[in-house]
């Protein structure tokens, strides 16, 4: 893969598993001895709850405050100290860092300029992989995350409504001049009983189908409530799809 890889997980479909995929994929890269940052750019960020890690005066909130109080964007060498203080390492995992989102009000006020600046600040911290979790709405913050991505993962579900939203999103991606080669689908909660053909969706949309995650809803719910991501659980059925997805990304060199 390239020296540094920025992966944005975004979907117009709410409840498609963006945060679950972003978290477990980031953990899988860290398990491969890579230095990883998971950035939570969602308006209602749920990663602290999923990791059972309280936010205590750190995270994106402090960075947004610094940027809002500056007349101009500060030099990165001045901002880097604040950035490192805002980043946390859950469970003392040396190579896995998190940058949790601010309150919904602060996140909604985050401009595309500030969002892009924070992503560039993260890139200067020598992470090998940066995984960005987003929310479903089309806002300037999410557009900045999409435009910064080397790889845009688009989770979807096995239903017609989700597929239709991906078709609509395709027009948006084209308007943002996001190269088709940078976009890949991940079909979540797959079951043979859905009557939905994933390969037909791939052909219809024109984006490569990079991963299929089986329906392991009970395992997911149990893990989230316990603060144990699937990638750290002992449930092989839940872990293997993320191992395969991470390996496909690395094998492709961060492109699809």
pLDDT at 12 > cutoff 60: yes
Task: Kindly indicate the confidence band of residue 42, based on its pLDDT and cuts at 50, 70 and 90.
Answer: very high
Q: State whether residue 230 is helix, strand or coil.
A: helix
**What's the gap between Cα 134 and its chain centre?**
6
pLDDT at 1 > cutoff 60: no
pLDDT at 2 > cutoff 90: no
Task: Kindly indicate the confidence band of residue 125, based on its pLDDT and cuts at 50, 70 and 90.
Answer: very high
Backbone angles phi and psi of 57, in degrees to 5: 75, 5
Q: Give the tens place of pLDDT for each residue, 203-235.
A: 888 999 999 888 876 666 666 665 656 555 566
The DSSP secondary-structure symbol of 207 reads S
Closest alpha carbon to 40 in 87, 92, 77, 91: 87
Q: Give the tens place of pLDDT for each residue, 156-185.
A: 998 888 989 999 999 999 999 999 999 999
CA dihedral sign, ordered 86, 92, 93, 94: positive
CA dihedral sign, ordered 41, 128, 90, 222: positive
Q: State whether residue 206 is helix, strand or coil.
A: coil
* Cβ(135)–Cβ(11) below 8 Å: no
Which residue ranges form the domains of the chain, and what is each CATH number? Answer: 5-251 (3.40.50.300)
* Cβ(131)–Cβ(9) below 8 Å: yes
Distance CA 46, CA 32 (A): 25
| Residue carrying the six token digits 């990638």 | 231
pTM of the model: 0.91
Report the 10 Å Cβ neighbour count for 45: 25
Q: State whether residue 226 is helix, strand or coil.
A: helix
Backbone angles phi and psi of 216, in degrees to 5: -125, 50
* Cβ(169)–Cβ(205) below 8 Å: no
* The predicted structure's pLDDT at residue 56: 57
Q: Residue 233 is encoded by which pair of tokens? A: 């659980």
The count of residues in the chain is 256
């Amino acid at each position: 893969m390239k020296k540094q890889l920025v992966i944005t997980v975004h979907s117009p479909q709410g409840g498609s598993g963006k945060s679950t995929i972003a978290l477990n994929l980031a953990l899988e890269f860290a398990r491969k001895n890579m230095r990883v940052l998971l950035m939570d750019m969602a308006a209602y960020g749920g990663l602290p709850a999923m990791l059972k890690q309280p936010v205590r005066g750190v995270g994106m909130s402090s960075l947004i405050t610094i940027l809002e109080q500056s007349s101009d964007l500060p030099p990165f060498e001045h901002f880097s100290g604040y950035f490192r203080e805002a980043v946390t390492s859950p469970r003392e995992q040396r190579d896995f860092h998190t940058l949790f989102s601010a309150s919904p009000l602060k996140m909604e006020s985050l401009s595309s300029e500030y969002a892009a600046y924070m992503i560039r600040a993260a890139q200067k911290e020598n992470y090998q992989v940066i995984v960005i979790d987003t929310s479903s709405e089309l806002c300037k913050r999410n557009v900045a995350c999409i435009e910064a991505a080397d790889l845009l993962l688009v989770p979807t579900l096995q239903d017609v409504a989700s597929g239709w939203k991906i078709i609509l999103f395709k027009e948006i991606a084209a308007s943002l001049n996001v190269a088709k080669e940078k976009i890949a689908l991940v079909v979540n909660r797959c079951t043979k009983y859905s009557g939905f053909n994933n390969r037909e969706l791939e052909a219809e949309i024109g984006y490569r189908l990079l991963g299929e995650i089986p329906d392991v809803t009970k395992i997911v719910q149990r893990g989230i409530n316990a603060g144990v991501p699937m990638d750290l659980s002992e449930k092989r059925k839940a872990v293997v799809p993320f191992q395969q997805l991470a390996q496909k990304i690395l094998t492709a060199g961060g492109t699809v």
